[in-house]
Amino acid sequence: MDINLFLIQLFNGLQLGLMLFLMSAGLTLVVGIMNFVNLAHGSLYMIGAYLAALTQQYTGSFFIAVIIAVPLVVLLGFLLDKTILKQLYKRDHLDQVLATFAMILFFNELIRIIFGPAAYFMNVPDILSGTIELFPGMIYPMYRFVIIISGLFVAAGLYLLIGKTKLGMLIRAGAENREMVNALGVNINLLYMLVFGIGAGLAGFSGMIAGPLISVQIGMGESILILAFVVIVVGGTGSVKGAFIAALIIGIADTFGRVMLPPALASMVIYILMAAVLAIRPRGLFGYIQISQV
């Protein structure tokens, strides 16, 4: 493998890893901080992609699709939290898994009724459709490079939000002792609704930016949901930093595995990696820290 091909595959791995991070960061907040297993997170990813595809189809603008799709998914997250999910927060994980799995089936059929069974396709905006020379002789697609930059900005923003702001302090405190925070006058239900909204927005944003790279179709959230859970397990439940590092490792391992290994083995690489990490660190790479820490 020559150096240019190696660098291209490395950047492809970073791009995949950062897309996985956008998906798994919101999920690790919900699972780790709220102690809620949300299998419907992949449906929010799918809905974000469909809303963006529909908006681009009617307006012809990718950027208007961004402005409209992500806030709508956040609002949907708030609505789900207020109407359905808050009833499940105090239930055991089996009840949460069954209820959110039912939501996957519901959203898949709802999308089929509204949008039809055919796949949608999004166009890369003209301004991002070209290539960029990252190094002498190394040409890389502009849109994929923008995904990398966007993922890095989101990672930095989440780190600052959770670790350096008053809201982040309240989220960490609520994760440590919900009853005490509630007794001190903090509306813990509102706090958890904000956390779920952030997670929903990240899932919708991830689906929206993935739209131009893959077909937007029913059930597209299930496959990436599995990868997101692998990221959470490897990184450590509740750790945004762990999700970031694990997503990059998994993205790079999966990309190089598909280039260098036979197809049957390549599809197993990330699961072998997960098993190896759990054999050494059963709680994940950053599982030794408290779930409230970044």
3-state per-residue secondary structure call for 184-211: CCCCHHHHHHHHHHHHHHHHHHHHHHHC
User: What is the end-to-end Cα distance of the chain in Å, rounded?
Assistant: 37
Q: Region 179-200: what's the mean pLDDT?
A: 81
CB of 150 within 8 A of CB of 166? no
Q: What pLDDT is recorded for position 128?
A: 87
Mean pLDDT computed over 78-107: 89
Note the pLDDT of residue 293: 44
Q: Which residue is listed with tokens 């307006």?
A: 59
Indicate the pTM of the whole model.
0.89
Looking at the predicted structure, is the pLDDT value of residue 254 above 80?
yes
Q: What percent of the chain has pLDDT over 90?
A: 39
pLDDT higher for 1 or 13?
13
Give dist(CA 202, CA 66) in Å, integer: 12
d(CA 45, CA 10): 25
Q: How confident is the model at residue 176 (pLDDT cuts 50, 70, 90)?
A: low
Give the lowest-confidence range in 6-20, 114-128, 129-143, 178-192: 178-192
Q: Does residue 165 register a pLDDT over 90?
A: no
Question: Where are the domains positioned within the chain?
Answer: 22-217
CA–CA distance from 2 to each of 16, 132, 137, 266 (Å)?
21, 19, 12, 21
Name the pLDDT band for 287 (thresholds 50, 70, 90): low
How far, in Å, CA of 253 to CA of 230, rounded? 13
Q: Identify which of 254, 205, 242 has the alpha carbon closest to the alpha carbon of residue 47.
A: 205
Mean local confidence (pLDDT), 57-73? 90
| Average pLDDT of the residues in 153-176 | 81
Say yes or no to pLDDT of 262 above 90. Answer: no
CA-derived radius of gyration, the chain: 19
The 10s digit of each residue's pLDDT in 14-62 is 999 999 999 888 888 788 777 788 899 999 999 999 999 999 988 888 8
What the block records as the tokens of 171 is: 């989220």
Q: Regarding predicted confidence, which is higher, 4 or 247?
A: 247
HSE of 105, CA atoms in CB hemisphere, 13 A: 6
What is the pLDDT averaged over residues 130-157? 89
Distance from chain centroid for Cα 88: 22
Q: Indicate whether 288 pLDDT > 80.
A: no
Torsion sign (Cα): 263, 269, 275, 276: positive
The residue count of the chain comes to 294
Distance (Å, rounded) from C-alpha 267 to C-alpha 230? 13
Q: Which of 84-93, 233-242, 274-283 reaches the highest mean pLDDT? A: 274-283
Amino acid 1: pLDDT: 61
Q: Which candidate, 167, 229, 244, places its Cα nearest to that of 27?
A: 229
> Of 196, 94, 213, 200, which Cα lies nearest the Cα of 147?
213
